[in-house]
Structure 1
Amino acid sequence: MDFYYPGKGKSVIYQPRQGFAERWHPMILGNLPNIQLTILIGQYAQKYYLPENKDNVTNTVKNYRQFLPHFMPLVHLPPRNQLWVTKNPWFEEQVIPELQILVKQIINKD
């Protein structure tokens, strides 16, 4: 959503700068005419690109198929989110393999 890491507080990662995506994403994406899949990592990307979706990140990722073929929502996985992966084994069992297949198909298409 931004071009720099905004840092983190004691228990939270700071949000991207306000207005950055609105200002820069249309121009950048306008110069990338053949985008076949956009990976939305974390709540800020998902809220911006999926404004009609009201689920939390876990449920959004769990229901990723409803956003295909254009978007693939993923959880942000810094080291502290390893507990999330442990609690949600479906992520590595289902989501990651499907993402790998999708990326492979896109790469092999060109």
Structure 2
Amino acid sequence: MRQQGWQPLYTASANARIVVIGQAPGRRAQSSGVPWDDASGKNLIDWLGVTEEQFRNPNLFSLLPMDFYYPGAGRSGDLPPRKGFADRWHPPLLALMPDIRLTLLIGRYAQMRYLPSARHDTLTDTVRNYRRFMPQQFPLVHPSPLNFRWKTKNPWFATDVLPELRTHVRAALDYTVTRELSTQSGRNPEHPDRECENR
């Protein structure tokens, strides 16, 4: 953690439209200081249907893991996020993001925290029933390459879930892009035929 010289790994912006709540940084991401800087991140960016530039733009995406530090290695993978960490740090950060239109809940720990009573008994069933939580929340399996067997056993994820995920991501971001372009051109995005009042 800080005593090891590590910096907390997250991004948060008051302008963000989508917040990605994942598990905890991996070893590579912690070393580079860049959230989702690994194969899981590449898969996630592909799932979302965005460019890496868009994904790294804090005015579009806030990246808020359940723990801001690499938790260390366990017997069968990384250790879980520390208990209570998200309870302490997420609420004040999320309170500073009033324009979030979509929350992506990636993996079991994020879903346990944010869908405590609504989630299903298994992660697979929660993801399969993603429509229950829309349009504000979208549960996902972790995009780790180690989950290739899960994706093979659950082909509906690629055929049904990912196309709808991309549609909702585009919808959440389109307003941001329209607003930015309108501001640059001196137009009010809420009233495109009027001059921006703050011009």
TM-score range, shorter chain: over 0.9
Corresponding residue number in structure 2 for 1:83: 149
Counterparts in 2 of 1:94 and 1:7: CA distance versus 1, 3 Å? farther
Corresponding residue number in structure 1 for 2:128: 62
5+ residue gaps in structure 2?
A: 1-65, 177-199
1:28 counterpart (79, 87, 93): 93
The 2-side partners of 1:102 and 1:51 are apart by 23
Corresponding residue number in structure 1 for 2:112: 47
- Cα offset, 1:80, TM superposition: 1.1
Corresponding residue number in structure 2 for 1:5: 70
1:81 aligned counterpart, secondary structure: helix
Between stretches 6-15 and 77-86, larger displacement belongs to 6-15
Between stretches 35-44 and 2-11, larger displacement belongs to 2-11
How high is the sequence identity, in percent, across the aligned residues? 54
The 2-side partners of 1:27 and 1:97 are apart by 32
- Cα offset, 1:3, TM superposition: 1.1
- Cα offset, 1:101, TM superposition: 0.5
Return structure 1 stretches of 4+ with deviation > 4 angstroms: none
1:73 counterpart (136, 139, 150): 139
Corresponding residue number in structure 1 for 2:46: none
Considering Cα pairs closer than 8 Å and 6+ residues apart, tell me whether 1 or 2 has the greater RCO: 2
Deviations 1:14-71 (A, max 9, x none): 2111111111000100000111111000000000000002421100000000001111
The 1-side partners of 2:138 and 2:72 are apart by 24
The 1-side partners of 2:106 and 2:168 are apart by 16
More strand by share: 2
Corresponding residue number in structure 1 for 2:159: 93
The 1-side partners of 2:132 and 2:78 are apart by 27
The 2-side partners of 1:66 and 1:21 are apart by 24
Counterparts in 2 of 1:8 and 1:58: CA distance versus 1, 3 Å? farther
More helix by share: 1
The 2-side partners of 1:50 and 1:9 are apart by 26
5+ residue gaps in structure 1?
A: none
Q: CA RMSD in A?
A: 1.2
- Tell me the TM-score normalised to structure 2 length: 0.53
